[in-house]
Structures are given as structure tokens and as C-alpha cells.
Amino acid sequence: MGQLENKKKVKIQYNNQKINELELNANSKLDTIRKKLIKSIDFPFIFLDDNDNEITKEEEAACKLNDILEGRYLYIKKKIKTRKIVGEKIDSNNGLDFYLYPKANLTDIQKTNSFNIMIIGETGVGKSTWIHSLLNYLEEIEFDENIRYLLFDEKQKQKEYEMKYGKKTLGSSITDIPEIYEIAPTKLFDNPIQIIDTTGFGDTRGIEYDNKNMKDIQNLFENSKIGKIHAICLVFKATETRAHDRFKYIIDKIFSLFGDDVKNNFIIIFTFFDFYSENSIIKVLKDENSSLCKILGDINNLPIFSFNNKAYFEKNRNLYYDIYEKNIKNYQDFFFYLSYIQPIELEKTKKILKARVQIREQINTFYFDTNRIIKEINTLKNINKNKSDKKRSIIEYYNSTYSLYCQNHERMCHRNCNGELLCPHFNKQISKNCNVCSCSESSHRYIMNYENKKEEEYNSIFLNEIDINNDKYIKHYNGIYHYLISYIENFHKIVLQNKEINEISLKKEDGNNKGNYIINAFNEVITKKNIITDFVKNNLLVIESLNENERINLVHNFIDICINNKDI
């Protein structure tokens, strides 16, 4: 006797969403139902009973559709692929096992043909998590699998950071130096990939650490075989609501690193993205006064991809399954876009990075040498003070004593007498005559010394009678001069170098901000100002127009000002 017909409109439910509705015979066995469903469902699946238990292949042959129908709903689950797990298990959390992905160790030929992706952004925007998630996408890890791959061990990096700095990475980048992670070709992307993970800008360790980051990126480009770049991913947190000063600083810092030829290779990545509400970061980046808009243009025309990578590290199906699937779709779009990008050679960017690092190092060297110059200036001031004090004491001495003048001979018998009663040339107990000229006391008179001295005579006495080491003064003066003229010449070269670099840099300086990068670097490096640093800074943009003699006069005049400045 044939199987009784019991036709029902059945809604196929997958992950709490209806994906299809078919008319099916509720009395048919599940293996028969499967043959009908695979025509309309494009992924391998498993039947679930009303308790969400999986129906095995063997049970399908004995179980009727009616046995697992809940009302008019048939529940299915995506079948997890059988896979060989690679790498070492390093952690378990939230019902997931985390494996450290083996190093790809690309060959030189593979590196030449690799797609190179640079990741840049503020500390704490989720760059590392985004990289892990990208790897899981390429390995086709499904949400329901209980494994996740990690490209690097963050906990190990945390330990290394704590050992090095003696504190946790709160507000600091866990990536201490830029690193290159290699991914071999996969089914989803048949080119090898090199991911350049940079240290986060805006780190709590301050501007000095950002400058170190710049130098580290330069070293990485110089020492690695990466000669071209496909994509520079600017990573922003989607929840950012305002363009605060640090945010602006970070964008300016990032754009100052690159040549103008990479402009079309930037990709915007949003992390912590809420797929169900407005993206607040868009308003921030659309600010027409921001460097991003000035350099890259209208953000609506830029490639933007949004992710919420927490879904890769959570097992809660109700909360994160939809997000996981949306991430997969966005990674598909990302790699589709990436496959059409034309790579850019890094020659300009390497040249700019090298120049930027050199400028900062020269400014830094100058700053540390300013104390030596100030010490030399103070030595000159002390020499001048000693000379002045000695000269003043001589004048005071001559102005406070008398000389004995013989009117008969019209000459000075003796200088520096202390008055009539104390003059050693008259001993009235023995004789009333002068023991120098033998004239009587009545033929002499006492006069104040200043009455018969001129200023130039005081100077002559000062220089001839007082031992002043003029060679020492000249030595220190020349030392200050050579220090400063050397700095002026060096900064003259820096200004010209910066002018040259600006011609090929992405973040150009306009006419109103000529030398802006140098001044910014100067302000960042020099935290403690003094008369020397102010002198150099104030003349940075002037020295380009001065000839050699004018620069020499500038230094001489400045030294004179320093010597006469009481506040140094």
C-alpha cells in the first residue's frame, strides 16, 4: 500500500530566519525530504528535532518529517565541515578553542607575488582582532565550529610587554614593533598575503613613542623585501563620536608617512561596528576640515568595510550569529576589492620616512646639546662679570684716594696717598720736606685721583694691571659661535630637505604652513624651552632666504644678546 499523502506548507527555519517555504509530504522520510531541499538550499545542513538535537544520517532513513515538525516549521542547521586542525592549541574561552596558526614561511617568489596589506590606526581600535578575524575568514571557519585561529599569541605579547615595561598594556599598543604576518594561499584567495601590523599611534607612552613607531616602520621597509603595497587599511573605531585633538593628531601623523602616489590605495576599516544603528564615526570623518577629507576627498567615494569582530570570539548564537555572517560578507567584498587594486612601489614613501626620521633625530640632537651652549654662554657672562667687577674696583679705588702734586716741579710725586695725615712721603717728625722731590710741604698739594684720570686711562690700567685671560673669553665665544653656526647650517639643510620631501608627500604643506612639519617636530621633541631653542625655532623659516654672511651676522648678534641677557 502506498504512502499516505499529507501535504503541508512547511517553513524552513535556519538560524531563527525563514529561508524558504515548500509544500512537503509530512509522512515522507527525512532522507527523501533532503533530496527536495538541496535543490533550494545552497549549503550542507543537518535536521534538528524540537529540542535542537541533530538528526544523524542513519536516523534520517527511519524518521518521518512529521516526527520533527514543530507546527509548520522545520528547523535545520548548517553542517560543519570536517577539517584537519593545524597549529598548537594555546587557549580556551567561551566554549571555543584557540589555535596558533602555523607560520607560512613564504618563499622569495611567493613574497614577490604576495598581496601586501598595511594596518594602521590608533591604539585600541582593534587592529589585532581584525587581523585574526581575517585569517578565520580565509580558513572558512564557521560560527558553529568550536575552533578559532590566531595569527599571533596576544597573551604571550602581553607577558613580554609587562616584562619589558613593568606594567600592563592599558592604553598602550600590545604590538611593540611593526611585524609582518604571512598567510599562504587559500581557497578563498589564491595569492599569498603579507600583513604589516604597525604599532598603534596615540599610545599612552606619548609622542616619543609615536616617533619611534615612525622609525620602526622605516626600518621594516628598508630591511624587508616588501617593495610594494596593495592596501593601506586605516582602522577606525565605529563608535568614535568626535574629532578630538588626539584623533586629529593621529590622522595627521599617519598621512605624513606616505608618498602622494599611494592616495588611491587607502581603505577605510571600521571596527566595533553595530550593524543595526547609525555609524557615528562617519560624521567625524566627513568633517571637511579634517586631513582625511582634504587628502582623500569625499568619504562617500572611499572604499569602506565595516566589521564587528567580537563575533569571532563569542559562542552565543542568538547574539552573534547574524554579525558573524555579515562579517563574512564584508570580508568577501574586501578581498574582491583588493584583487583589483594596483600595487604601488614604496620608493617615495621610503624616501619620505627616511627624511622624516632624519629631521627628528637632528632636532633631538640639537635639543640635547643646548645645555652645552648655555653653559658656554654662562661662562662668557661670568668672564665679563669678573672683568667688570675688577674694572669697577680699580675706578673706585682711584676715586677714593689722593695723589701728591709738586708745584715747583709740576709733577706728581706719588699716587694713591690717603690724605695729608697718612701720606708716607712726609714724615713730619723727621722733616717737613718731601722725600721724593725734597721740596717743602707748602710747595705740594693733594688732588683726587679722578681729577687727573681719563676713562681710557682706567681701561688701560684695567687691561694692563689686572690679569684677565682674554684667550679664554675668545675660546668660549668661538665655541658658541661654531655650535650655533653649525646648527643654523644644519637647519638650513633640513628646511631645504623638507621642501623637497613636501613635493612628493601625501600630506603637503601649503604656503601658509611652510615648514609646518619641522615646527611640529620641533615642538614634539623639545618639551623644555630656553633662549637657544627659541632662537632656532624663530629662525627656522627665515634661514632659507639668508645668505651665508647674513646667517653669520645673525649668530653674532644672537650671542651678544645672550651675553647681555640676565635671565640665562
**pLDDT tens digits, 346-373:** 898 888 888 888 888 888 777 777 777 8
135-144, 255-264, 293-302, 514-523: segment of lowest average pLDDT: 514-523
Round to whole Å and give the CA distance between 503 and 506: 9
> What count of other Cβ atoms lies within 10 Å of the Cβ of residue 137?
22
* Residue 27 CB partners (closer than 8 Å, separation 6+): 3, 4, 5, 6, 64, 65, 66
> Above 90 in pLDDT, residue 424?
no
Average of per-residue pLDDT across 484-490: 81
Round to whole Å and give the CA distance between 301 and 437: 108
- Closest CA relative to residue 173, chosen from 208, 198, 207: 198
Higher per-residue confidence, 513 vs 452: 513
Which pLDDT does position 161 carry in this prediction?
Answer: 64
> Above 80 in pLDDT, residue 454?
no
3-class DSSP assignment, residue 195: strand
In one-letter notation, the amino acid at residue 406 is: C
By CB atoms closer than 10 A (0-12, 13-18, 19+), residue 434 is buried
3-class DSSP assignment, residue 208: helix
Half-sphere CA count of 526, side-chain side, radius 13 A = 24
Higher per-residue confidence, 93 vs 441: 93
* b/e code 140-179 from CB counts within 10 Å (16+ = b): ebbbebebbbbbbebeebeeebeeeeeeebeebbbbbebb
Which pLDDT does position 462 carry in this prediction?
Answer: 46
Confidence of residue 455 (pLDDT cuts 50, 70, 90): very low
The reply to whether the predicted model has a pTM over 0.85 is: no
CATH label, 89-345, candidates 3.90.700.10, 1.10.490.10, 3.40.50.300, 2.40.10.220 = 3.40.50.300
Q: Sheet holding 444-448: strands in order across?
A: 411-417, 402-406, 444-448
* Residue 277 CB partners (closer than 8 Å, separation 6+): none
The C-alpha cell of 459 is what? 681701561
The C-alpha cell of 228 is what? 610594494
Round to whole Å and give the CA distance between 532 and 519: 15
Round to whole Å and give the CA distance between 497 and 501: 6
pLDDT digits (tens, 9 = 90+) for 31-44: 888 888 888 887 78
- In the chain, % helix, strand, coil (3-state, to 5) comes to 45, 20, 35
Give bridge partners of residue 121 from the DSSP assignment. 235
Round to whole Å and give the CA distance between 174 and 370: 35
Higher per-residue confidence, 138 vs 449: 138
* Residue 71 CB partners (closer than 8 Å, separation 6+): none
* Residue 10 CB partners (closer than 8 Å, separation 6+): 21, 22, 23, 24, 26, 65, 69, 72, 73, 74
| DSSP secondary structure code for residue 443 in this structure | G
> Above 90 in pLDDT, residue 121?
no
Give bridge partners of residue 549 from the DSSP assignment. none
Which pLDDT does position 496 carry in this prediction?
Answer: 83
Which pLDDT does position 319 carry in this prediction?
Answer: 83
7-78 maps to which CATH number? 3.10.20.90
Give the CA-trace dihedral at 232, 233, 234, 235, to 10 degrees.
-160
The C-alpha cell of 545 is what? 632666504
Higher per-residue confidence, 1 vs 176: 176
> In residues, how long is the chain?
568
DSSP string for residues in 30-92: HHHHHHHHTTT--S-EEEB-TTSPBPPHHHHTT-BHHHH-BTTEEEEEEPPPP----SEEEEE
Average of per-residue pLDDT across 243-265: 79
Determine the Cα angle at 157 with ends 151 and 158, to 5°. Answer: 130
Confidence of residue 211 (pLDDT cuts 50, 70, 90): low
pLDDT digits (tens, 9 = 90+) for 129-150: 999 999 999 999 988 888 999 9
Q: How far apart are the first and last CA of the chain?
A: 113
Round to whole Å and give the CA distance between 372 and 460: 34
Confidence of residue 159 (pLDDT cuts 50, 70, 90): confident
What average pLDDT does the chain have? 78
Half-sphere CA count of 482, side-chain side, radius 13 A = 6
Give bridge partners of residue 193 from the DSSP assignment. 115, 183
pLDDT digits (tens, 9 = 90+) for 330-344: 999 999 999 999 999
Domain borders along the chain are 7-78, 89-345, 363-383+469-563, 397-465
Q: Which of the residue ranges 174-178, 365-369, 510-514 has the most confident prediction, judged by mean pLDDT? A: 365-369
Which pLDDT does position 3 carry in this prediction?
Answer: 53
Which pLDDT does position 206 carry in this prediction?
Answer: 52
Q: Do 66 and 32 meet the contact criterion of CB atoms below 8 Å apart?
A: no
